[in-house]
Amino acid sequence: MSNKMWGGRFARGPGAIMEEINASIGFDFRLALQDIAGSKAHAAMLAETLILERADAQAISNGLDEIAREIEAGSFKFSRALEDIHMNIEARLTELIGPTAGRLHTARSRNDQVALDFRLWIRDTIDALDQQLRALQRALAEKALKHAASVMPGFTHLQPAQPVTFGHHLLAYVEMFARDRARFASARSRLNESPLGAAALAGTSFPIDRAMTAKALGFDRPTANSLDSVADRDFVLETLSVAAICAIHLSRLAEEIVLWATPQFGFASLSDAFSTGSSIMPQKRNPDAAELIRAKAGRIIGALNALLIVMKGLPLAYSKDLQEDKEGTFDALHALSLCLAAMTGMVGDLAPDLKRMKAAAGFGYATATDLADWLVRTLNLPFREAHHISGRLVAIAAEQKKGLEKLSLAEMRAVEPRISEAVFAVLGVENSVGSRTSFGGTAPKCVRAQARLWLRRLKK
């Protein structure tokens, strides 16, 4: 038997393999509540424009409410034979209210219906992710305020570069996640147009009111071109692109936590809540939550790449290829949500070893730049000359296997006779970070100001 929802032309139903490759209900069931919301708005508009009797529209609305209750209660029966969420809901609506259910699809196609549902789902998901990002920013800013003066090494090339504070380091990620939130908001603003009413690809001859359904569903306006309305998946690509960038930020922080938790670094530790052990090595304490975040960035980036490849050769308007837009997106955005929750927990749980970090901040002659700056400020040397002098002093200290601050004044004056006892004040790591008072710098007073500013912003 042909599919009773669309099979008028067909004498027989699809073969088993065709049904297997064609069915999407295994993943697009996630669009159920968005599909119902769109259908209710469509039915109300059909009644308002006198395309549908008000009694029929009310019966449809009541039936859809009942289906929503069944879905939320877990009692709704999804059928693979009905292919997708749209046909499953329409079939159940027919069971509930009879042939009147068939009027719901007037002036509508599954093409604009799925485009609508997916926009609604993406919009809802962006809103939820934004709240998770906000919570992560708050956790970072709170810890940054607490550790505004806790000294740690700053790295370039993963080599000791200059001392910074732990709070300053954490605030760098607050800035990254702020950009992610801004990108999500920007993507949301562009997707907030309603494709409903574009029908299959050419619009409809019925006197529908697209502005009415757009407003009812919280969109800014209806889309302006019916072909683009059903063929566009830019809103998915943009969202996945932002998700991929956000996942990279999470992965970078996760990688640092993995490094910090090693005995070689020893900068911080995680409690049992975010660590696992080994089945054979009883001493092991593994930061698996961080490692999994690092890995899940790959599947999020992969979902973006997969959809880019799907879209690259599609002519207008709708092709079944577009069914491949959902499964990877659902998986990627769920993974991102899970990663955000895990990272927020880890940030709160992370216990820094302040003594170890401070000691490491002085490794590798990290105050050599402070020495060069002192030579410029105090002796009025050109920076390149000061840089050369500092480098020579580093070489002498390295040859003797001791820190810059351990060199004697005589040894320093052998390189530059005008160096005075005052130079030793800039060679301590705390003096170094305290001197970095330029806007955005690592000085504790700057870090406190920025952390408090962020906490005020995040309260709003």
DSSP, residue by residue, 273-336: GG-B--SS-TT--B-HHHHHHHHHHHHHHHHHHHHHHHHTTPPSS--GGGGGGTHHHHHHHHHH
Instruction: Tell me phi and psi for residue 269, to 5 degrees.
Output: -140, 155
Q: How far is CA 335 from CA 86, 101, 173, 330, in A?
A: 26, 37, 19, 9
Catalytically annotated residue among 79, 271, 278, 319? 278
Residue 21 has what pLDDT?
81
Q: Is 278 one of the catalytic residues?
A: yes
Please name which of 273, 306, 302 lies closest in space to residue 290, comparing C-alpha atoms.
Answer: 273
- Determine the Cα–Cα distance for residues 71 and 89; give it in Å rounded to an integer: 10
In sequence order, what are the residues at sequence separation of 6 or more whose Cβ sits closer than 8 angstroms to the Cβ of residue 412?
393, 419, 423
One-letter amino acid for residue 440 of the chain: G
Gyration radius (Cα) of the chain, Å? 30
Residue 164 has what pLDDT?
96
Q: Is 337 one of the catalytic residues?
A: no
Phi-psi sector, 164: left (phi>0), alpha (psi -120 to 50), beta: beta
**124-148 pLDDT tens trace:** 999 999 999 999 999 999 999 999 9
Please name which of 129, 164, 165, 350 lies closest in space to residue 249, comparing C-alpha atoms.
Answer: 129
- Determine the Cα–Cα distance for residues 451 and 154; give it in Å rounded to an integer: 19
One-letter amino acid for residue 148 of the chain: A
Residue 31 has what pLDDT?
96
Residue 302 has what pLDDT?
98
- Determine the Cα–Cα distance for residues 77 and 408; give it in Å rounded to an integer: 82
Catalytically annotated residue among 157, 205, 279, 408? 157
Three-state secondary-structure class, residue 74: coil
Of the chain, the end-to-end C-alpha distance in Å amounts to 58
Regions in the chain scoring below 50 on pLDDT: 1, 6
Residue 449 has what pLDDT?
98
- Determine the Cα–Cα distance for residues 104 and 64; give it in Å rounded to an integer: 11
Quick count: other Cβ atoms within 10 Å of Cβ 406?
11
**254-279 pLDDT tens trace:** 999 999 999 999 999 999 898 888 77
Residue 5 has what pLDDT?
55
Contact by Cβ (8 Å): 148, 444: yes
